[in-house]
Structure 1
Amino acid sequence: MNLIAWNCRGALEASFQNYVRDLVNIYNPAILIVMETKIGGERAWDITARLPFDGAFHSDTIGYAGGLWLLWDSSRVEVTTLSSTEQEIHATVQVRNSNFSWLLSAIYASPRYAERQMLWNNLIKVAELHNMPWVLAGDFNEPIMGEDKYGGRPVSVNRSLMLKECLDLCNMIDLGFTGPRFTWTNRRDIQGLIQERIDRFFVNPSWCLLYPEARVSHLTRCHSDHCPVLLELQPTVRNHRVRPFKFQRFWLSDVSFPKVVENVWGRISGLTEAIDTFQHEATVWNKLHFGNIFAKKRKIMARLNGIQRVVAVKPSSSLLDLENKLLKELDVVLGQEQELWALKSRINWMVQGDRNTAFFHVSTLVRRKRNQILAIKNGVGEWLHAEAEVMDYIRKGFSDIYTSSSISSGRIQSGFSQWQARLTEEEKESLGSPVTEDEIKAGLWSLVL
């Protein structure tokens, strides 16, 4: 299960909803914490209703500033909100099919120091009221040490000590991170560039015992001046399986596709050979024409991630200019991706009404989710959710069906252990010598008697 915390710097941007769907598609978070949304009330609920989460809780905004959302997938986690302020949301989280729950505190610390002090005091009081496994996640708006900041004024010792004291009294642990060092940047030229690590996950020791393999990753920053931060509770190794060939109806909309069909079916007479050749040629053609959109996107995201890593260590004007250029290229590719989602949705929306890329995207995701096998029940009635467990159970089932039940004895290995009894040389010679008449008579008499 994954959690993501992201300061979006405003949820009214057109790219916000698309980027959230992108995060869900790639990292599949069960819980998403969104900070600095800058909207509340009915408009906030209208936006969260369009996102791929069926559970939501909003904290109040301060005018047009602030805003903290806690979103979750109720099919995977049960979230019960306990209390909230403008800077925090406290809730208990129980992972489905588990017997334990833990406390989650979503944080958006105010840019004003006096209000942040109130938040630190509230967290200390919360720590005194429970002994549950606990996670603090969000934007703390305060670097803790000098290594957490680049450029601008030095880190304030007094303010960082206040946060450290709060974390110590709450018995919190920093899990570390992978990815670019800093989570926020002012995105200015090299002379005025400031970068900070202020978006974090903290956990207490009892939570670490529940998820000892948990890890934190700083994701690529592209739609905000803050990067999303990913917490993986149980990281798994992805199995890259070979997907079966599927004919996509949107291929027919491309003018070059009939030539692919003509080249294959025109030169090959055998049906089986023609089908196999067509599958290969169509797969290659799809990768070069449609699949390159996703390849471009991955390449741009990878380059952005690399640039942000370097800028965190040794910033330069050329790197900042290249980052801005790549962000513009990413916007173009995302527009092309929306067009592709519309084709892949398999719904003829041109006949039904106006184009709505969000509708196409959601309908595609719903169809994919419906076609997935997310869990399987084993012979004793337990549900298996991990992909590797499901694969092993199915493989074992086929092995049990087609494997013979007869028991065969293994071959006895030659050689003797030093603890085994052995025949002496005299005994070996006695057994191998010819049988005498006296021995035959003695044997016969023993049978008669």
Structure 2
Amino acid sequence: METRIGRERAREITDRLPFENAIHTDTIGLAGGLWMLWNSERVDVTPLSNTEQESHAVVKVAELHNMPWVLAGDFNEPLTGEDKFGGRPVSAWHLNLALAEAVKKFTEDAANWNRLHLGNIFEKKKSIMARLNGIQRAISGDLNIAFYHIPTLVRRKRNWILAIKYSTGDWIHEEDGIKDFIRRGFEGVYTSSLLSSSQHNPLVSQWQAKLSEGEKMSISGATSEEEIKSALWSLKPFKVPSPDGLHAGFFQRFWLVVGKLVLEEVEKNFAERKMPEYLNWTHIALIPKVQGPETLGNYRPISL
């Protein structure tokens, strides 16, 4: 139920109610504050995830008793199309595809929907923010225009690599030349010229750290659903997304829809002991190590 009451006040109230277990979510102004209350002898509840306005859980009843029960509520998001009549499709997620193809198709459909129905909300946001900044500058007066422009120009210049010095001391100024030089430079750092390795066991000192047999069995065994979910939920929901634009929060929020494909993909990677290339795709940013960086060694790459 949506009570619009959260935090300590919610706990104070539910502690006085005749229920053994409770889940609370925080409020957003006058919205949210969901409560899920239950008794373990009547229903088995496994919480999955929560937000201010949503609570996801697996509920089992039949295994505990044969008493009659009813499920009622305001079901805004049924899981499958068979649970509703008419209206829009339940989900744009394609369960008949592999994870990589499903993500690609979903992002394409979402981009088309954004363009057709919202007129590209991201461009509209940029336009609105530009107008608001212009209004703010106008309110501050014409005399302060330079105050706003100078920091913007300085920040913009810092975010661009306009030139980089080659190992011979020559400078590269062309944009394509800079890109190619940086790419080849880090490829040389992070790739190996070793084409093969010996299968013979290397000599190991008795003082050298090594894995026990139990640890070897633990990391070489198959992954469980609980381990995969625990790893996913350990990620920050809205950190910088991958190149496909999907945060970890997307997979957490829609786990009941996308979870099956995520589990299949992870289990396949561990079984084949090979990670597909698309899972390693990421955005790379170069962070200057010093003021006024000149050479490639003055930059540190980070994966966003």
Which is higher, the Rg of structure 1 or of structure 2? 1
Where on the TM-score scale, by shorter chain, does this alignment land: which range? Answer: under 0.3
* TM-score, structure 1 as length reference: 0.21
